[in-house]
Structure 1
Amino acid sequence: MTKSITEKRALFRNLHEQGCFVLPNPWDAGSARLLQGLGFKALATTSSGFAWSLGHADGDIPLETTLAHLRDIVAATDLPVNADFGNGFAADAQGVADNVRLVVATGVAGLSIEDATGDDASPLFAIDTAVERMRAARRAIDESHTDTLLIGRAENFFVGRPDLPDTIARLQAYAAAGADCLYAPGIRTREEIAAVVNAVAPKPVNLLIGSNSELTLQDIAALGVRRVSVGGGLARAAWGGFMRTARAIAQDGRFDGFDSSVPGAELNAFFRKSDDA
């Protein structure tokens, strides 16, 4: 049965109330449908995975292309979709609000706003500016009457400023400004994770696991994390298999990289079945 956008948003909000769930990141309709078929309860887009699929670097995809991509992913799956919406594609609060209205209209169940500027010399918005941007996003969502979740992201660890106290101060400020869920991509240790969870409680925390980690999902849940995403990790895994196989052909004339490939018949059977569902 196809779920309405309203049903997806209600389901997504309920997932944040208790327990811990994984929010994997597809980059196209096929990967979204496959992840749904594996039993995941919700999905999140990946700006990096999508950009690479178009032959661009992360951060180089314009707003209109991103909005079209979000509509495609929402339409491809019955699962709630969280939008990786960068820094809102605007520097000022009014621009963020205008763009949040556009992304809510795509049917996503949640969206994240980062505090990264994209300027290497000054990589983070000043906290007062970042808070003003978060408040603007909150107002835009509230005015839409859609119950879309707002995720506040502190990018300290991603932009080379791994300052945990400042990260926590930013997340607390974003929570006070109306963020429903908090996210500090790049924190890794149990101590960092526990500090963030405790600092913003009772609001839920998203944890990024984008590479090998000693932590299991059970460990992460025990730390109080409510949801786990993988960012561009699945896309990088797919690119890894592609590049290893292609390099073996180009450099050594070997084709044994195909040994680990998924049979085409299996993929055809899966997508035929999902078409009929």
Structure 2
Amino acid sequence: MSQADTFRALHHHRAPEDPLVLPGPWDAVSARVFAEAGFPGLAVPSAGVAASLGYEDGQVPVDEMFAAVTRIVRAVDVPVSADVEDGYGLAPKELVERLLETGAVGCNLEDSEDGELKDPRAHAEWLAEVRAAAGDRLFVNARVDTFAYGAPDPEQTIERAALYVAAGADCVYPIGAPPEVLPLLRSGIQGPVNVGVFTEEGPSPAELGARGATRVTFGPGLQRRATRALREIAARLM
């Protein structure tokens, strides 16, 4: 079984209170820490990598982002998925080739650009091209940005999700959806659902699983927590 197959299998046949928990490493060291802790896979956040490289979120040059993902993949033996934002303007075939060159077996692809939602049907067609180029070599997590960018309508989210699943997405990620809306989204979305946890507050992964999350990721939240801890250490040293 390939690592992509292994990663895909992790998303299925899970008990409701046992979602797949994927920490988000931002460099090789953090990746090793999470892998050594026993997590079965990792989900690299673009914002966390951006911070580690000294950039604002969304401003990392594409070559630097893929190089960072390559270093993370090389550091661990578990499967790694990478947030590659909206694909950096690359054609689907080139995007897939470059992702596979890093060793990643999955990716996040968002349906917004510069804070604006994309046309969902056009985006679904683009996702279908990504799927055709990737075959079963990549696990595609289709991010739905309705709650993030001013259209917090569960029905619209479900409609977009249906288009993306039909286009070949393996998982749907309604980023920013409030926990109380998850049961409704779960009832209307086919296949795995990713839920993001960005702060230390709110429901636990198990509680999110009970509400409908198949997998839980953390975006840049863990990197930001580590940065706060480092600031506290620096302050004590002073």
TM-score between the two structures when normalised by the length of structure 1: 0.79
Distance apart, 1:162 and its partner CA: 2.1
Identity of aligned residues (%): 33
Distance apart, 1:213 and its partner CA: 3.7
Whether contact under 8 Å (2:27, 2:72) holds in the other structure is: yes
Residue of structure 2 in register with 1:23 after alignment: 22
Residue of structure 1 in register with 2:131 after alignment: 138
Q: Distance in 1 between matches of 2:220 and 2:230?
A: 15
User: What pairs up with 1:138-157 in 2 under 5 angstroms?
Assistant: 138-142=131-135, 146-157=136-147
Q: State the Cα deviation string for residues 147-183 of structure 1 (Å, max 9, x = none).
A: 3211111112222332322222111110011101111
Give 5+ residue unaligned stretches, structure 2: none
User: What pairs up with 1:189-204 in 2 under 5 angstroms?
Assistant: 189-190=179-180, 192-201=181-190, 203-204=191-192
Counterpart AA for 1:100: V
Give the secondary-structure state (helix, strand or coil) at the position aligned to 1:158.
coil
Residue of structure 2 in register with 1:14 after alignment: 9
Whether contact under 8 Å (2:20, 2:215) holds in the other structure is: yes
Q: Distance in 2 between matches of 1:160 and 1:73?
A: 33
For the aligned residue pairs, the C-alpha RMSD in angstroms reads 1.8
**Does residue 167 of structure 2 align to residue 177 of structure 1?**
yes
Higher helix share: 1
Query: Which stretch of the first structure deviates more once superposed, 62-71 or 213-222?
Result: 213-222
Q: Distance in 2 between matches of 1:62 and 1:34?
A: 26
Give the secondary-structure state (helix, strand or coil) at the position aligned to 1:178.
coil
Whether contact under 8 Å (1:206, 1:228) holds in the other structure is: yes
Give the secondary-structure state (helix, strand or coil) at the position aligned to 1:156.
coil
Give the secondary-structure state (helix, strand or coil) at the position aligned to 1:112.
strand
Residue of structure 1 in register with 2:37 after alignment: 38
Match of 1:210 among 167, 182, 198: 198
Distance apart, 1:244 and its partner CA: 4.3
User: What pairs up with 1:1-277 in 2 under 5 angstroms?
Assistant: 7-19=2-14, 20-90=19-89, 95-118=91-114, 120=115, 123-142=116-135, 146-190=136-180, 192-201=181-190, 203-246=191-234, 249=235, 255=236
Give the secondary-structure state (helix, strand or coil) at the position aligned to 2:60.
coil
Distance apart, 1:10 and its partner CA: 2.2
Q: Distance in 1 between matches of 2:153 and 2:227?
A: 32
Counterpart AA for 2:5: A
Give the secondary-structure state (helix, strand or coil) at the position aligned to 2:161.
helix
Counterpart AA for 1:15: L
Distance apart, 1:256 and its partner CA: 6.7
Whether contact under 8 Å (1:89, 1:96) holds in the other structure is: no
Q: Distance in 2 between matches of 1:138 and 1:59?
A: 24
The structure with higher relative contact order (CA 8 Å, sep 6+) is 2
Whether contact under 8 Å (2:179, 2:211) holds in the other structure is: no
Counterpart AA for 1:73: I
Whether contact under 8 Å (2:165, 2:171) holds in the other structure is: yes
TM-score between the two structures when normalised by the length of structure 2: 0.91
Higher strand share: 2
Classify 1:148/1:163 alpha carbon distance in 2 versus 1 (closer, same or farther; 3 Å). same
Distance apart, 1:54 and its partner CA: 1.4
Give the secondary-structure state (helix, strand or coil) at the position aligned to 1:194.
helix
